Amino acid sequence: MLVMSRAPRKTRAYSRSIGGRKSNLRSTQIQYYLCLILNSHFFSFLTEVGTHFFILSCISAHLPKTEASHWQDVMKDLKHIQFLIQSLDIDTILYTESNAHPSCKITAMRCFLLELRVISYECNNTRLTETVENVIVIANTTLSSDRNIAESGCKECEELEEKNVGEFLRSFIHIVQSFIGTS
């Protein structure tokens, strides 16, 4: 049996039948009320305040964070890495700066960041790798303003003492705290 169907009619959003009569949003009466609402002083006040609020929100979202807040984010991630490492069996020895001289702390931080990549490489854990990468990005971004500072007399990374992951992270947290204290 062949059934022919009728193609559905296209309906407009502003015109549909209600109880035998058409409801049309384009009617003069509805336009009048919409115009009255949009032009009222109260609504224009809300619109002006809303516009100012929106603009200030956009500006504040793009304001740079202070350097100390970046280092506090690094600190939180390092504590998260410490927590993750407790549940993983990582037997890695890393070059660790235990007593960085204040005039060598940028060099020491760069060494810590290089060694942090080793943790990510040695461990096959996605959450740990993501957190390590986050620390590296935030710290390198924050250190980028200090690229032109020359530190002399500092140890090379390979000259540092080798320590286990737990001691490495404790020393790393200590150096980050020194950056927070000077910001």
Kindly report, residue by residue over 119-178, the tens digit of the pLDDT.
888 888 899 999 999 999 999 888 876 666 778 888 899 999 999 999 999 999 999 998
Q: What residue spans define the domains of the chain?
A: 70-181
Question: Which among 182, 70, 163 is positioned nearest to 111, based on CA atoms?
Answer: 163
Kindly report, residue by residue over 50-66, the tens digit of the pLDDT.
665 556 555 655 555 55
Rounded CA-CA distance 95/99 in Å is 13
Strand, coil or helix: 2: coil
Tell whether domain 70-181 is in CATH 1.20.1250.70. yes
Q: State yes or no: pLDDT of 35 exceeds 60.
A: no
Task: Kindly list the distances between the CA atom of residue 94 and the CA atoms of 40, 113, 148, 149, in Å, as whole numbers in the listed order.
Answer: 69, 11, 27, 26
For the chain, give the percent of residues with pLDDT over 90: 31
Burial of 50 (0-12, 13-18, 19+ CB in 10 A): exposed
pTM: 0.60
Q: State yes or no: pLDDT of 87 exceeds 50.
A: yes
Q: State yes or no: pLDDT of 68 exceeds 80.
A: no
